[in-house]
Amino acid sequence: MRCCAIVLYFTSPTYFFCLFILFSPVFDTLRHFLQTKKLIKILQISIFAAIATVLTFFEVPVFFAPSFYKLDFSNVVVLISGFSIGPLAGVLTEFLKVLLKILIKGSTTVGLGDLASFVAGVALTLPSAACYKKYRTFKGACVAMLLGTICLTAVSAILNYFILLPAYEILFSISENTIISLGNTINPLIFDRFTFILFIVCPFNLFKGALICSVTLILYKRLSVVINNLFKDFVK
């Protein structure tokens, strides 16, 4: 029976298919692809996205904003991805992070909060990484992160004023006055949508950008070197 099984295997289509792949140009092409820098970048982005996703589960509130405004350090990893690989890699890392979080944790805002998180992450990462790509110095990194923080704050303010606050009112039947009152309990100067943006959204994103960028400056070289060394001997 064993001999019959061996004979059947070596005369099966699977065996001949394996031989064809092994000794044909297809195998050389596949092996070449596995050793290209493009694949290495994909693997690096995947690792960065996985680390960033884990960090999204560790959120902390801030004292100067309502409890639904929380900070996490996932954008540190996204920024490092953008700095070490490129601006588009940073955007892709942010997208994968948000997608993985939705798949693992689900969404409590029908995707609205996740979309806002993605847009904010891109607003911080894309200009920062693009600027740093052109000026790869410590000073260039500082200027890049300052630019990213300004973009993050501006985009978040516009997004909240024209889209998010009205959308929450429509989708979840939460009146704008309820949200404004939450801000008013923290800061008496808040009495309408504009002052909510001015005294809650803008300070929150300025603080978030400054904190994320400061941590990135400390960790960038260390973490990017570790990730790069994982694949150093993989490419010929």
Extents of the domains making up the chain: 34-57+69-230
Q: Could you list the mean pLDDT of each consecutive 10-residue stretch along the chain, which spans 236 residues?
A: 41 46 53 66 89 93 88 94 93 95 87 92 96 91 95 96 90 86 93 95 96 92 70 55
Q: Say how many C-beta atoms besides its own lie within 10 A of residue 134's C-beta.
A: 8
> Given 3-state DSSP classes, what are the helix, strand and coil percentages for the chain, each rounded to the nearest 5?
80, 0, 20
**Class at the top of the CATH hierarchy for domain 34-57+69-230:** mainly alpha
Q: Which residues of 29-66 are buried (b: 16+ CB within 10 A; e: fewer)?
A: eeeeeeeeeeebbeebbebbbebbbbbbeeeeebeebb
User: Looking at residue 169, what is its pLDDT?
Assistant: 84
Do strands 60-61 and 70-71 pair parallel, antiparallel, or not at all (unpaired)?
Answer: antiparallel
Q: Which residues contact 182 (CB under 8 A, 6 or more apart)?
A: 66
- Supply 194's token pair: 């504009």
DSSP-derived secondary structure for 77-91: HHHHHHHHT-HHHHH
- The helix (H) or strand (E) run that includes residue 66 is none
- Residue 126 in contact with residue 75, Cβ under 8 Å? no
Tell me how far apart the alpha carbons of residues 87 and 89 are, in angstroms, rounded to a whole number.
5
β-bridge mates for residue 16, sequence order: none
DSSP state of 142: H
- Neighbouring-strand partners of residue 60: 71
